[in-house]
């Protein structure tokens, strides 16, 4: 399972040890003592024998035929995510510890906007840090723990609360938006806990969310968590849009925008549904993968459709600002773009 195999199985093959060593850091990584896993396909002939251990493609970096493993940032991020998840499942958690923080977000299939951390994150009775794990102090009440792939993990809303306390506003808003939106980007069979959250109506989800506020470990953490719940309304359609909410907050624009607004023409027909609207200024957020890079015809088609849509919005008298990842990770850059369009920031 999980594309894993033991060292023993390889060591009995001629030259097995040497080949395994050469595959480490290439397509194979060490998961636990004596246990290894294939996390991506590579083109080295010698390493093909490891392909036979691949039993679940979801754990692999998705390598479409002919596309090199390091094709893009996105692929790397996917590979890191798959690898982080595999390690969480293959390793035995430290005694009394529960998978938490970013690692919990990974297991719940919540979107991760920062780089996937090398360290596996847990919460447990003692705070400690080794080469492989980081253990946060507060142990969990039983009610806050769910199980994903056989591992104890903080419940989705407890995870958001921990992210708000330790990983920052943007990470927490992204996770909260995703949970409130109630739409899954992972296949439901991944985790019973996640399915449960998604099948709840919004009011139930909000109640579950607010129940966590009383369990924050400090008043500062509680304040930040409540802020996350105020800002995340489940309207964002991508992690980039969730990140934009955090940036707009930094720029003092909370309350000044509306999200997912339908723009109508004089005849009352919908021209577009825009990501953010600040007065007469439309702010559109472009994530990573709007245009599929490997399919030029599709990319061109998407680009033209986008252009027509934008022209129609401008024809209604709106100004359009487009924000990309590069803008969103740099609030000063976002501010400059908004200012140029006439937003007071």
* By the rule CB under 5 A, 26 interacts with Zn ion: yes
How large is the C-alpha radius of gyration of the chain? Answer: 22
Q: Cβ 69 to Zn ion, closest distance in Å?
A: 9
Q: Among 43-51, 170-178, 199-207, 299-307, which window interacts with Zn ion (CB under 5 A)?
A: 43-51
Q: In the set 4, 31, 39, 47, which binds Zn ion (CB under 5 A)? A: 47
Beta bridge partners of 277: 258, 282
Tokens encoding 281: 């200024």
27 touches Zn ion (CB under 5 A): yes
Q: 120-123 and 145-148: which strand pairing?
A: unpaired
Q: Can you read off the two tokens belonging to residue 318?
A: 């709106």
Task: Give the span between the Cα atoms of 104 and 99, in whole angstroms.
Answer: 5
CB of 48 to Zn ion, least distance (A): 9
CB atoms within 10 A of CB 57: 12
Rule CB under 5 A: say whether 24 interacts with Zn ion: no
Decide if 188 contacts 194 (C-beta within 8 A): yes
Nearer to Zn ion, 24 or 202 (CB): 24
| Least Cβ distance, residue 42 to Zn ion (angstroms) | 3
Answer yes or no whether residue 79 interacts with Zn ion by CB under 5 A.
no
Query: How many residues would you count in the chain?
Result: 345
| Residues in region 183-222 near Zn ion by CB under 5 A | none
The residues, ordered by sequence, that sit 6+ positions from 197 with a Cβ below 8 Å of its Cβ are: 156, 179, 182, 205, 208
Whole-number minimum distance, CB 78 to Zn ion, in Å? 17
Q: How far is CA 328 from CA 12, 236, 279, in A?
A: 51, 14, 20
Toward Zn ion, which CB reaches closer, 23 or 180?
A: 23
Give least dist CB 75 to Zn ion, A: 15
| Piece of the chain touching Zn ion by CB under 5 A; list 17-25, 59-67, 104-112, 139-147 | 17-25
Closest to Zn ion by CB, 27 or 170: 27
- Between residues 30 and 290, which has the closer beta carbon with respect to Zn ion? 30
Question: For residues 241 and 285, is the Cβ–Cβ distance under 8 A?
Answer: yes
Least distance to Zn ion, CB of residue 321, Å: 44
Give the N- to C-terminal CA distance of the chain in Å, as an integer. Answer: 52
With left for phi above 0 and alpha for psi between -120 and 50, is residue 279 left, alpha or beta? left
Nearer to Zn ion, 19 or 329 (CB): 19
Query: Is 42 one of the binding residues for Zn ion (CB under 5 A)?
Result: yes
17 versus 280: smaller Cβ distance to Zn ion: 17
Q: Min. distance of Cβ 32 from Zn ion in angstroms?
A: 20
Which phi and psi (to 5°) does residue 58 adopt?
-65, -20
Site residues (vs Zn ion, CB under 5 A):
23, 26-27, 42, 44, 47
């Amino acid at each position: 399972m999980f594309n894993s195999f033991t060292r023993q199985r390889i060591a009995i093959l001629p030259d097995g040890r040497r080949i395994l060593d050469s595959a480490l850091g290439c397509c194979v990584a060490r998961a636990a003592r004596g246990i290894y896993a294939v996390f991506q396909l590579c083109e080295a002939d010698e390493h093909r024998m490891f392909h036979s251990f691949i039993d679940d493609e979801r754990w692999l970096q998705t390598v479409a035929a002919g596309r090199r493993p390091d094709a893009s940032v996105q692929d790397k991020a996917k590979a890191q995510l798959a690898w982080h998840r595999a390690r969480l499942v293959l390793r035995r958690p430290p005694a009394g510890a529960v998978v938490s923080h970013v690692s919990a977000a990974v297991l719940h299939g919540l979107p991760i906007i920062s780089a996937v951390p090398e360290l596996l994150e847990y919460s447990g009775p003692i705070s400690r840090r080794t080469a492989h794990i980081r253990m946060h102090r507060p142990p969990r009440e039983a009610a806050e723990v769910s199980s994903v792939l056989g591992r104890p993990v903080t419940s989705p809303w407890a995870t958001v609360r921990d992210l708000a306390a330790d990983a920052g506003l943007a990470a927490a808003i992204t996770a909260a938006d995703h949970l409130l939106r109630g739409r899954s980007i992972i296949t439901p069979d991944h985790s019973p806990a996640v399915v449960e959250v998604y099948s709840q109506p919004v009011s139930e989800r909000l109640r579950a969310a607010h129940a966590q506020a009383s369990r924050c470990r400090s008043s500062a953490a509680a304040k930040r968590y409540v802020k996350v719940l105020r800002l995340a309304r489940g309207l964002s359609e991508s992690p980039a849009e969730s990140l934009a909410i955090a940036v707009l907050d930094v720029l003092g624009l909370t309350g000044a925008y509306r999200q997912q607004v339908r723009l109508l023409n004089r005849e009352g027909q919908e021209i577009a549904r825009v990501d953010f609207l600040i007065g007469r200024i439309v702010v559109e957020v472009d994530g990573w993968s709007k245009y599929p890079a490997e399919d030029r015809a599709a990319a061109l088609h998407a680009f033209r459709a986008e252009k027509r849509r934008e022209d129609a919005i401008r024809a209604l008298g709106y100004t359009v600002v487009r924000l990309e990842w590069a803008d969103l990770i740099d609030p000063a850059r976002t501010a400059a773009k908004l200012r140029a369009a006439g937003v007071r920031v």
